[in-house]
Amino acid sequence: MSIIRRYAAAALISIPAAGFAQGAPAAATPAVAPPLTTVLPTDPKVKIGTLSNGLRYYIRQNSKPEKRAELRLVVNAGSILENDNQLGYAHIIEHTAFNGTTHFAKNDLIKYLQSIGVRFGADLNAYTSFDETVYILPVPTDTARILDQAFTILEDWAHGQTFDSTEVMNERGVVREEWRGRKGAGDRMLQKWLPIAFKGSRYATRLLHAVEMAAGLGIRAAPASGITPSGR
Ligand SMILES: [Zn+2]
């Protein structure tokens, strides 16, 4: 899964057929910057609420693409919560969310999603950042059963990982290959400037390049640490 280094904070977002309204053409007169205290306006078409368990949700209806819903689970937890002996845990936990959960053993989740036309990587995806872990699940809405199952998947991602030892060990190789594939000039520069930009901050020491260091060692200790998909 891809890794994006940026910030965010939210609990849960489910966006049927996500999309945003097109902005109006730029005005002819020069724009005046609003005061920094100005709060960004919320699209009035977005329904926002909080469930009794504290889960916050956002829903927006879109007509295109037709008969599709895109669900996202946005977990307010990422690599910044890792202790020194847990580097890489946030990322590998994101990966193992696809390798066995309460309702989908081992790779059954992928098999099920493929059976309803969801492509792994192209449609289904996830990423880990300093402060957030995001799971993206677009599904067809042909039947109520499919949508119901989609929410079950989100539930499993939130607090139903099984952390099968074999699966965790196998996924280490996938994470390591992602790390290897990112190596290059851009990554070398990042390793140089980011610790300087974040000097004095915990962010300077929580680069996700350290995923290979986690290597799944003691990964079962992670849930108790708070770095879990349901961490925040
Ligand atoms: Zn990944």
Cα(97) to centroid of ligand 1, in Å? 11
> For residue 71, what are the β-bridge partners?
14, 137
This prediction has a pTM of: 0.76
In degrees rounded to 5, what are phi and psi of residue 140? -75, 150
Residues 86-145 have pLDDT tens digits of 888 888 899 999 999 999 998 899 999 999 999 887 888 999 999 999 999 999 999 999
Q: How far is CA 172 from the centre of its chain?
A: 18
What is the DSSP code (8-state) at residue 65? S
- Cα 208 to middle of ligand 1, angstroms: 10
Give the mean pLDDT of 198-221. 66
Q: What are phi and psi of 15, to 5 degrees?
A: -130, 95
Question: Token pair of 25, please?
Answer: 């053409």
> At 95, which amino acid appears?
H
**79 CA distance to ligand 1 middle (Å):** 12
| CA–CA dist 230, 101 (Å, integer) | 13
| Phi, psi at 57, each rounded to 5° | -130, 150
Give the distance (Å) from ligand 1 centre to CA of residue 178: 6
Give me ligand 1 centre to Cα 24, in Å.
37
Q: What is the pLDDT of residue 11?
A: 35
User: Which residues neighbour 6 within 8 Å (Cβ) at sequence distance 6 or greater?
Assistant: 129, 130
- The pLDDT tens digits for 36-60 are 899 989 999 999 999 999 999 999 9
Q: Give the model's pLDDT for residue 47.
A: 97
Q: How far is the CA of 191 from the centre of ligand 1 (A)?
A: 18
Q: In the 8-state DSSP scheme, what is residue 24?
A: P
Separation of alpha carbons 13 and 154, rounded Å = 10
Please tell me whether the peptide bond between 16 and the residue prior to it is cis, using omega within 30 degrees of 0.
no
Active-site residue set: 94
Query: If you average pLDDT over every residue of the chain, what do you get?
Result: 80
Question: Is 22 within 8 Å of 66 (Cβ atoms)?
Answer: no
Say how many Å lie between the CA of residue 62 and the centre of ligand 1.
29
Distance 104 CA to ligand 1 centre (A): 20
